[in-house]
Amino acid sequence: MADKKIFLPESEMPTHWYNIAADLRNPPPPPLHPATHEPIGPEALAPLFPMELIKQEVSAERYIPIPEEVREIYKVWRPSPLIRATALEKALGTPAKIYYKYEGVSPSGSHKPNTAVPQAYYNKLEGVKRIATETGAGQWGSSLAYACQQFGIESKVYMVRVSYEQKPYRRSLMQLWGGAVVPSPSSDTQAGRDILAQDPQSSGSLGIAISEAVEDAAMREDTKYSLGSVLNHVLLHQTVIGQEAIKQMEMAGDYPDVVVGCAGGGSNAAGLMFPFLKDKLAGKTTTRFLAVEPASCPSLTKGQYRYDFGDVAGLTPLMKMYTLGHTFMPPGIHAGGLRYHAMAPMLCHLYAEGDIEARSYPQNPCFEAATLFARTEGIVPAPESSHAIRGAIDEALAAKEEGRSRVILFNLSGHGFLDLSAYDDYLAGRLIDDHYPEEKVAEAMKELPAI
């Protein structure tokens, strides 16, 4: 009988992160200065990030060594298991094989500590005492609080207000790991005060929270900023996922025909996909790559490929991304980690080049998929991850329709034990039927810089 779970020994944990910048057919468009619209150099990022992370952000090296101290902490949850979804396959009656890489085994229950730990480490090395950041659903804030705690650094987390209210236990986790948390928009920053003056009831957004955290870090000598997704160095750190999965798929005797990931800022999808994409870009494989996003925040499938800001206040450099407009405020759906107006520039570049496909779903069909998954495989998925499950299930059903096998690999980016109120709403039929908010996007697109 074939193994259901494929474990790698710790000795097989990756020793390097994989940098896809070394293998691209064409270079991605450079980030631009927000005022001059000229390409910016790495020094422009120095007030916000430690130098080692900036070097990684612009590196062209194919492999970047993972520091021993980081690998030591990675061992708490890495290598993560690869699991064959045998019970789900059976329930679907599909000839497809479905595998998933399970990142919910980390301390915070998602893939995010894969980058939080090295980010805290490099800050510590350069003498930083305090890190400010934003969080949507609270996954990133709790991961960063955990990582900072490992290295004796203070953390300050601006948490999107709707999640602060919907997910009180993520707040508890951050506090348990020594972090300070405020709902965003907050009165602690000028960006927050400006939004509150316009709309005291603002439910917040990732873009607003980013503005607050960036401002906090820019105003204080002892503080740097940290981002849980979108940037090249974050995607880089997440490639431990895909590198492990390559070895584990080999142990299982399979190779994926399609690799699926949910996409908010793009980091868990990229982390699983990029090591496999390396072989596709080299012409060795024909694997498909599918990014799945929510219908109410569909940056890849409905956005325009334009230069835009990463935050609402327009403090960040301009990056070329598929964007819905930096002032776009997505509806308060339960997959809080997918409510970002744009997508990682590196993932966008590969999407524009035709190497990655994208699809969007409303939240109800995603929760339906997550419920089937919980009833068959047992694990309760994060609402974000339910998008990848929906995508994987539809790939498996398409294989059934064709009467052909297909090897599907998806990233189960986190567990949903702190999202049970969302499942309550789904089971009671209270989840809003979300859809593409065309008019709000059209409004936000008017605010885009004319480049």
Q: Catalog residues that contact ligand PLP under the rule CB under 6 A.
A: 110, 112, 139-140, 229, 262-269, 337-338, 382, 384-385, 413-414
Residue 21 vs 399, nearer CB to ligand PLP: 21
Closest CB 113 distance from ligand PLP, rounded Å: 10
Closest CB 311 distance from ligand PLP, rounded Å: 16
Closest CB 326 distance from ligand PLP, rounded Å: 17
Max distance between CA atoms of the chain, in angstroms, equals 63
- 185: preceding bond cis by omega (within 30 degrees): yes
Query: Number of C-alpha atoms within 13 angstroms, CB side, residue 236?
Result: 28
**What is the end-to-end Cα distance of the chain in Å, rounded?**
58
Residue 393 vs 399, nearer CB to ligand PLP: 393
Beta strand extents in 24-148 (DSSP E only): 63-65, 82-84, 97-102, 130-135
Cα–Cα dist 421/435, whole Å = 21
Closest CB 111 distance from ligand PLP, rounded Å: 6
Closest CB 281 distance from ligand PLP, rounded Å: 21
> Please, which residues bridge with residue 359 across strands?
292
Residue 190 vs 421, nearer CB to ligand PLP: 421
Residue 134 vs 394, nearer CB to ligand PLP: 134
Residue 336 vs 406, nearer CB to ligand PLP: 336
The DSSP code for 415 is B
Residue 65 vs 168, nearer CB to ligand PLP: 168
Residue 153 vs 227, nearer CB to ligand PLP: 227
Sign of CA dihedral 30, 34, 38, 43: negative
Closest CB 68 distance from ligand PLP, rounded Å: 26
Closest CB 414 distance from ligand PLP, rounded Å: 3
Separation of CA 278 from chain center: 20
Using CB atoms, what's the residue nearest to ligand PLP?
Answer: 414
Q: What tokens does 113 get?
A: 């500590």
Segment (H or E) for 5: strand 5-6
Cα–Cα dist 260/272, whole Å = 8
Q: What tokens does 135 get?
A: 């969080």
